[in-house]
Amino acid sequence: MSTPRSSASSPDPIPHKSVTLAPSLGMRDPEEDSDSTPSRMSEDDDCSGGGGGGGWTPDLRGGGGRWAPPDQVLEIVLESVLEFLTAARDRNAASLVCRSWYRAEAQTRRELFIGNCYAVSPRRAVERFGGVRAVVLKGKPRFADFSLVPHGWGAYVSPWFAALGPAYPRLERICLKRMTVSDDELALIPRSFPLFKELSLVCCDGFSTRGLAIIAEGCRHLRVLDLTEDYFHEEENEVVDWISKFPESNTSLESLVFDCVSVPFNFEALEALVARSPALRRLRVNDHVSIEQLRCLMARAPRLTHLGTGSFRSEPGSGGTSSVSELATSFAASRSLVCLSGFLDVNAEYLPAIYPVCANLTSLNFSFASLTAEEIIPVINHCVSLRTFWVLDTVGDEGLRAVAETCSDLRELRVFPLDATEDSEGSVSDIGLQAISEGCRKLESILYFCQRMTNAAVIAMSENCPNLVVFRLCIMGRHRPDRITGEPMDEGFGAIVMNCKKLTRLSVSGLLTDKAFAYIGKYGKLIKTLSIAFAGNSDMSLQHVFEGCTRLQKLEVRDSPFGDKGLLSGMNYFYNMRFFWMNSCRLTAKGCRDVAQQMPNLVVEVMKEHPEDEGETDTVDKLYLYRSLAGPRNDAPSFVNIL
Amino acid sequence: MASAALENLKATELRLGLPGVEDDSPAPATPRGSKRGIADNKEEEAKTVTAAPAAKAQVVGWPPVRSYRKSCFQQQSKSKPAAEAPAPEKEEAAEAPPPVAGSGSLYVKVSMDGAPYLRKIDLKMYKGYRELREALEAMFLSCFSSGSGDAAAVNPADFAVTYEDKDGDLMLVGDVPFQMFMSTCKRLRIMKGSEARGLGSSSKE
């Protein structure tokens, strides 16, 4: 058993000692890697505790008027009070007070958040929590998004659905991230949960339009169907007309997001669906929707707040071609729009059509639109209220300067590369970053892909934007130093951790020595998520991180000169973390086995570089370890070796 | 910006051979990245062990952009040099292969006036115009004949295949050598023959 980290009076969210209480069971946190609008799937923000209701007095008599013995009164009062607690850390803390609090909390927890589907068995979760209405489940490690986890690794939803079905007939909401869900499993939802209201699938795979059809048809109270960056692998002739399957009467739909379902669909059915969904506020369509069709949809749903605009290109149909001014009229009529995305195949000539809504926009996602600075500047100049902006680097430093000049309220910026290769030209640089830091002082979250960066710009950002919670800088060329001084990027990242005292998530890149990690360990006290790639000199880097970052929960490392010594320096801390991923470093099977042997509540998975390779090798290419109350999983494929 | 200037220079470069016939020159080796402030032996060691061979073959999953996002820009990114293939091709299969294949494809959207939705085709699958036209006919005629019983009403000869090039101009397919067409074509559009007359004027509003 690990030595618990000493923390004097700070309210520690993760209980160290008690193995009986699953540390990973907590409440959801919003905002990680999903789409523009906070979609409740990430770990960057902290939800504060729920608000209490005013003017409520407890019914101390309990049970409808009959007198109840004092200890039961306490439980009833407790349950009533705990209903108001929504935040994970508050609930986890409450459950540790004593047995009756544990029971009361378990009965009143409405949302079950499982950050790692293998950390606890479904049966155990279901046995503890009786009144759950919403489940959030996360599966594969994040590096699976970058093809680093071989196909078939796991994260199947089936054992969970098998347990949730009988246990929670009143379940209303399911959110899955990086899990494999089949159509048959989706079919379980309407069968098991007659009150089902919200389904959100992020970066999931395994299902098709057939499963969507079942959901549409079977879940009569559906309010939310959000499909975000899921993997579809359907042939066009297999596609099912799922949109037609929604109930024929008025629906309760509030949100319909399917931009990643990039197959043709029945547009007339969608138009009719929108017309009979008076509560619809969020609609994001795929790239098979033209401007002319978009206008139809907007006319049917004038109260939309979030709109994914589809292709944003004219496809002349039977009604002819829409002009820019006609499209502008449609936007002018949508007075409630605050979030725009899509632009999946944009014809920039149509961009001025969105001017009528720009001043009210708080969120704008141009990250699939290859726009130049000239094309974007006139648009951005109107967007004075913008808080979230996603864009491609094609706009260049000049485009970013325009953002800095106009969007003084900006909180989140993401700049993606059009050409995501190491040798690409890269159109944004330290100049853009510097400009942003000067104009957007309230910035809280940034993701920035570039080819050229300087310490000076990063330091400037650390000084100008002290509210940064998320700092993810990706210098795409590996081991690239400061482009002006030739120095490593140590000082820049050091300044970030030093000056941004609220920082909880950090991704580093560029040429980095152990010094950078010494800074991170020394100052990064609130860091929960750290991503390291092609960085560091020696195992000291890892040691600095483990010893210094007392709040560390998720650590991802790739292609860095760290070996067994670095791994072992984390031994005392692994139980406090959700997981540790390490690939293409210098680990050996022996080092990994040492960890596995000494830590019984850790699952240590090693994967071969090439799944087809036979036999044992001494070096370990991929290591994924995570704390778990469930022990080694029984669904691991042959290329996964659980030590 | 320097990079834009470089681009323009390359475009005006005098060469034998038609535009669109790529010479597979590797990306210019710029001095950036090679200057290092510290001469650190350990760091050198690290580089040779963990980094790919000096010519920088593509590394799996780097830069960390989700395959969903990458597949949307497949045709816009530089064609990767085929020479350095082994490392990326050997990779473990992605979780679910993105709909667009690796560096060897060139997907463009195809729309047809009157057809209910767009299709996508990979231009690299076709050796020339004739194959392309045959494929298009097969793809779109079937969608008409399955809808109405009126198969005779649709005559391929009535339709003209046009494309939108890099400058946004609408051009008739078949005028330029196929290779050149492949490098400039952004999307295809099948329209009624009558509308295709007088092509050359801009199609924009």
Concatenated DSSP letters of B78-106 = PPPPGGG-HHHHTSPPPSS--SS-STT--
H helices present in A396-538, as ranges: 396-406, 430-439, 455-464, 490-499, 514-523
- A519 touches A490 (CB < 8 A): yes
CA-nearest of A405, A500, A491 to A445 is A500
Which residues of B fall within a CB distance of 8 Å from A561?
Answer: 42, 45-46, 49-50
Instruction: Supply φ then ψ for residue A626, to 5 degrees.
Output: -155, 145
Q: Do A145 and B97 touch (CB under 8 A)?
A: no
Which residue in B32, B56, B95 is closest to A483 by CB distance? B32
Q: Which of A349, A421, A474, A539 to mutate to test the interface with B (most CBs of B within 10 A)?
A: A421
> What local confidence, expressed as pLDDT, does residue B7 receive?
52
Q: Which residues of A touch B69 (CB under 8 A)?
A: 367-368, 416, 420
Give me the pLDDT at residue A57, please: 47
**Nearest CA distance, B94 vs chain A (angstrom):** 5
Q: Which of B60, B63, B204 sits opposite A420 (nearest CB)?
A: B63
Which site among A312, A423, A482, A624 would you substitute to test the B interface, given the most B Cβ atoms closer than 10 Å to its Cβ?
A423
Minimal Cβ distance to B205: which of A288, A323, A584: A323
Q: So what's the pLDDT on residue B179?
A: 85
Which string of b and e fits B92-114 if b means at least 16 CB within 10 Å? bebbbebbbeebeebbbbbbbeb
pLDDT at residue B173, rounded to an integer: 87
Residue A256: closest CA among A218, A195, A297: A297
Q: Is the pLDDT of residue B131 over 90?
A: no
Tokens linked to B192: 């009624």
Contact A599, A581 (CB under 8 A): no
Q: Which residue of B has its CA nearest to A452?
A: B32
Interchain pair B61, A148: CB under 8 A: yes
Residues in chain B with CB shorter than 8 Å from the CB of A323 are: 205
Q: Is A234 exposed, middle or buried (0-12, 13-18, 19+ CB in 10 A)?
A: middle
Contact by Cβ (8 Å): A504, A470: yes
Q: How far is B33 from chain A (nearest CA, A)?
A: 5
Residue B82 or residue A314, greater confidence: A314
Residues of B in contact with A150 (CB under 8 A): 92-93
Residues of B in contact with A418 (CB under 8 A): 73, 76-77
Measured between beta carbons, the chain A residues lying within 8 angstroms of B110 are none
- Residue B148's SS3 state is coil
Residue among A147, A148, A417 minimizing CB distance to B63: A417
Rounded CA gap, A600 and A557, in Å? Answer: 23
Q: How far is B185 from chain A (nearest CA, A)?
A: 14
B92–A424 CB contact, under 8 Å: no
Alpha-carbon gap: B152 to the closest alpha carbon of chain A (Å): 21
The C-alpha atoms of residue A287 and residue B112 are separated, in whole angstroms, by: 15
Choose between A65 and B166: higher pLDDT.
Answer: B166
Interface of A with B in 292-311 (CB under 8 A): none
Distance from CA of A481 to the nearest CA of B (A): 6
Nearest to residue B45, comparing CAs of A12, A98, A463, A586? Answer: A586
CB pair distance less than 8 Å for A146 and B64: yes
Whether the CB of A425 is below 8 Å from some CB of chain B: the reply is: yes
Residue whose entry in the numeric block shows the structure tokens 């920082």 = A503
Residues of B in contact with A344 (CB under 8 A): 72
Burial class (CB in 10 A: 0-12, 13-18, 19+), A200: buried
Dihedral class, residue A450 (left if φ above 0, else alpha if ψ from -120 to 50, else beta): beta
Is B63's CB within 8 Å of A422's CB?
yes
Element (H, E) at A587: none
pLDDT digit string, tens, across residues B140-165: 766 554 444 444 455 667 778 888 88
Average pLDDT value for residue range B170-179: 86
Tokens of A86: 């929504």
Q: How many CB atoms lie within 10 A of CB B185?
A: 20
Peptide bond into A600 cis (omega under 30): no
Provide the number of CB pairs (under 8 Å) joining chain A to chain B: 189
Residue holding tokens 């994040």?
A: A142
Q: What's the CA gap between A324 and A543, in Å, rounded?
A: 58
Whole-complex ipTM? 0.82
How high is the pLDDT of residue A256? 98
Predicted local confidence at residue A232, as pLDDT: 81
Half-sphere exposure for A528 (CA within 13 Å, toward CB) = 15
At residue A397, the pLDDT reads 97
Contacts of B91 in chain A (CB under 8 A): 147
Angle formed by the axes of helices A99-108 and A70-82, nearest 10°: 50
Q: Which chain A residue lies closest to B34 (C-alpha atoms)?
A: A480
DSSP string covering B151-166, please? GGG--GGGEEEEEEET
Task: Compare all CA atoms of chain A with the CA of B108 and give the residue at the minimum distance.
Answer: A345
Touching B: A residues 33-92, CB under 8 Å: none
For B107-197, CATH number?
A: 3.10.20.90
Residue A35: closest C-alpha in chain B: B69
- Asked if A586 and B119 come within 8 Å (Cβ–Cβ), the reply is no
Amino acid of residue B189: R
Q: Give CA–CA dist B69/A635, Å, rounded.
A: 30
Burial class (CB in 10 A: 0-12, 13-18, 19+), B164: buried
Say whether B50 and A368 touch across the interface (CB within 8 A).
Answer: no
At A177 the pLDDT is: 97
DSSP state of A48: P
What single-letter amino acid sits at A81?
Answer: V
CA distance B183 to chain A (A): 17
CB contact under 8 A, A478 and B62: yes
Q: Domain coordinates of chain B in residue numbers?
A: 107-197
3-state per-residue secondary structure call for A358-399 = HCCCCEEECCCCCCCHHHHHHHHCCCCCCCEEEEEHHHHHHH
Which two tokens mark A24?
A: 């990973």
Smallest CA–CA distance from A612 into chain B, residue? B92
The whole-number mean pLDDT for each consecutive block of 10 residues of chain A, a chain of 643 residues, reads 42 40 37 37 37 42 55 81 86 90 90 96 95 96 93 95 96 97 96 97 95 97 97 80 95 97 93 97 96 96 97 83 94 97 94 97 97 96 98 97 97 95 89 98 98 97 98 96 97 98 98 97 97 96 97 97 96 96 94 94 87 68 95 93 92
Which ranges of A258-369 does DSSP label H, i.e. alpha helix?
A: 267-275, 291-300, 324-333, 355-358
Taking an 8 Å cut-off on Cβ atoms, the answer to whether A480 and B33 are in contact is yes
Beta strand extents in A433-564 (DSSP E only): 445-450, 470-475, 505-507, 529-533, 554-558
Q: Indicate yes or no: CB of B117 within 8 angstroms of CB of A485.
A: no
Torsion region of A584: left, alpha or beta (phi above 0 gives left; psi -120 to 50 gives alpha): left
Instruction: Say what the alpha-carbon torsion angle B115, B119, B122, B128 is, to the nearest 10 degrees.
Output: 0
Chain A, 339-378: which have a CB under 8 Å from a chain B CB? Answer: 344-345, 349, 367-368, 370
Please answer whether residues A390 and A414 qualify as being in contact, where contact means their C-beta atoms are separated by less than 8 angstroms. Answer: yes
Tokens of A283: 């609609």
